[in-house]
């Protein structure tokens, strides 16, 4: 599952104690399994659209790329509308772009309940998705939850007026982080989806530069995550890049893991090279485990990380600044503990799922009332 699915799972699990919840998904999988364990009724409404790898900003438009996909998506919406008629829910929560568009159409076809759209993407102004949402967004009884101010400010004006910012909630660790065990080493961690826009290839280049500059230090980078819904060619290109730069002994790639806290505990600094990250769930999780974060100041990450306090932020694409900032941890190992502990306190206050999940449900329930 990706960050959106984890957030939805947490929301459903909490909501199930206060309301009768149904999960509608287009395919069985980990999300449906977790929901069923929480006592949530699951409905699989198949959608026969072809899976494609495409640019991130085009993901919303996959359904109009071919006549076959258009037909498949229309059939999906009709089946979904039939299920909605039978269930007659008080509120529908749509979590990702495909479900957003489907629920837009279900509302157009007559659903009169309340709709909530959880928006987790930053769309360029005047882009095709921007206009699509502007046209299809229901005029009445619809509201938006934006996962960051960066997402909120990118929305069309009409949607922004019905939008509230509520950050994703993540699990918070048990306490403050201990100092680095070995001051002669610096263990960097990236954890998340391994896809081009996350910038894993940039992190590999940064590691190569760091090792040239700090030859006496032991510098390592672990890249942890899967590449689901994307071509495996990118993953292979990363492996080739690592080998070509002579980094195979210090840069390792690992598949998705559920032992996230253990990964955080084994590393010193969390690194992220994403462009226009809508929020950065793994960034907030890292801070919640007491890790300092080094990232490009792009999208919503600047709302999580306080530059110079809980980590370092540098202008997007400024590789030299990224290397210099990382070097500060190598030269001053105590920064990892100091910044990590400040990040822990910030995450506990602003991104704690024990606070954020109830806030989301309260927002939804007040709208229904």
pLDDT at position 182, please? 55
- Domains belonging to the chain, first-starting first, are 3-169+352-368 (3.40.50.2000), 185-350 (3.40.50.2000)
Residues whose CB falls within 8 Å of the CB of residue 120, separated by 6 or more in sequence, listed in order: 3, 4, 95, 96, 147, 151, 278, 279
What CA–CA distance (Å, rounded) separates 88 from 94? 15
In this structure, how many other beta carbons lie within 10 angstroms of the beta carbon of residue 284? 31
In whole angstroms, how far apart are CA 13 and each of 29, 78, 154, 223, 293? Answer: 16, 28, 30, 30, 29
Do 44 and 26 meet the contact criterion of CB atoms below 8 Å apart?
yes
**Cα 172 versus chain centre, distance:** 17
Do 242 and 204 meet the contact criterion of CB atoms below 8 Å apart?
yes
pLDDT at position 76, please? 94
Do 167 and 351 meet the contact criterion of CB atoms below 8 Å apart?
yes
Do 224 and 189 meet the contact criterion of CB atoms below 8 Å apart?
yes
For residue 346, the 8-state DSSP code is H
The closest of 92, 162, 157 to 130, measured between CA atoms, is 157
The closest of 207, 287, 203, 214 to 246, measured between CA atoms, is 207
The helix or strand, by DSSP H or E, that contains position 265, with its residue range, turns out to be helix 260-265
Do 192 and 160 meet the contact criterion of CB atoms below 8 Å apart?
no
The closest of 362, 358, 355, 299 to 124, measured between CA atoms, is 299
What CA–CA distance (Å, rounded) separates 72 from 90? 27
What CA–CA distance (Å, rounded) separates 138 from 239? 45
What CA–CA distance (Å, rounded) separates 199 from 181? 28
Long-range CB pairs of 359-362 (<8 Å, 24+ gap) are 359/166, 360/11, 360/145, 360/166, 360/169, 361/11, 361/14, 361/15, 361/18
> Which of helix, strand or coil describes residue 332?
coil
pLDDT at position 183, please? 58
pLDDT at position 170, please? 94
pLDDT at position 59, please? 47
What CA–CA distance (Å, rounded) separates 277 from 15? 27
Q: Within the chain, which residues score under 50 in pLDDT?
A: 54-59, 62-64
In the block, tokens 């071509």 appear at 231
pLDDT at position 55, please? 46
Using CB atoms within 10 Å of the CB of residue 205, give its burial: 0 to 12 exposed, 13 to 18 middle, 19+ buried. Answer: middle
What tokens does 24 get?
A: 């509608």
In the block, tokens 């961690």 appear at 189
Evaluated on CA atoms 47, 90, 170, 199, the torsion sign reads positive
The closest of 170, 192, 196 to 256, measured between CA atoms, is 192
What tokens does 350 get?
A: 């602003």
* Predicted confidence (pLDDT) per residue in 310-360, tens digit: 999 999 999 999 999 999 998 898 999 999 999 999 999 999 999 999 999
Q: Dmax over Cα atoms in the chain, in whole Å?
A: 67
Do 335 and 328 meet the contact criterion of CB atoms below 8 Å apart?
yes
Do 265 and 291 meet the contact criterion of CB atoms below 8 Å apart?
no
């Amino acid at each position: 599952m990706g960050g959106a699915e984890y957030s939805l799972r947490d929301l459903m699990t909490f909501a199930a104690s206060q309301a009768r919840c149904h999960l509608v998904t287009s395919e069985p999988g980990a999300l449906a399994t977790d929901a069923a364990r929480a006592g949530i009724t699951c409905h699989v409404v198949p959608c026969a659209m072809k899976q494609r790898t495409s640019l991130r900003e085009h993901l919303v438009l996959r359904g109009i790329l071919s006549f076959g996909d258009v037909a498949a998506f229309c059939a999906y919406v009709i089946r979904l509308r039939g299920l909605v008629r039978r269930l007659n829910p008080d509120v529908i929560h749509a979590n990702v772009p495909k479900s957003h568009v489907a629920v837009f159409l279900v509302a157009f076809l007559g659903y009169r309940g309340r709709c909530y759209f959880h928006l987790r993407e930053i769309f360029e102004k005047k882009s095709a998705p921007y206009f699509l949402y502007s046209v299809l967004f229901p005029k009445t009884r619809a509201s938006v939850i934006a996962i960051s101010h960066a997402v909120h400010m990118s929305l069309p004006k009409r949607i922004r007026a019905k939008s509230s910012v509520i950050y994703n909630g993540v699990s918070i660790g048990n306490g403050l982080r201990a100092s680095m065990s070995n001051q002669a080493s610096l263990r960097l961690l990236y954890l998340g989806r391994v896809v081009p826009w996350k910038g894993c290839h940039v992190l590999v280049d940064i590691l190569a530069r760091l090792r040239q500059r700090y030859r006496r230090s032991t510098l390592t980078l672990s890249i942890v995550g899967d590449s689901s819904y994307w071509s495996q060619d990118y993953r292979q290109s990363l492996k080739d890049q690592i080998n070509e730069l002579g980094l195979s002994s210090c840069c390792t790639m690992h598949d998705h893991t559920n032992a996230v806290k253990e990964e955080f505990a084994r590393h010193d600094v969390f690194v992220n090279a994403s462009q226009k990250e809508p929020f950065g769930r793994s960034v907030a999780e890292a801070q919640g485990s007491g890790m300092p974060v080094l990232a490009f100041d792009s999208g919503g990450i600047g709302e999580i990380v306080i530059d110079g306090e809980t980590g370092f932020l540098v202008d997007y694409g400024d590789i030299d600044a990224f290397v210099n900032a990382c070097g500060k941890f190598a030269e001053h190992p105590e920064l990892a503990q100091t910044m990590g502990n400040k990040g822990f306190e910030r995450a506990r206050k602003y991104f704690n799922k024990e606070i954020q999940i109830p806030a989301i449900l309260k927002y939804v329930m007040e709208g229904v009332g």
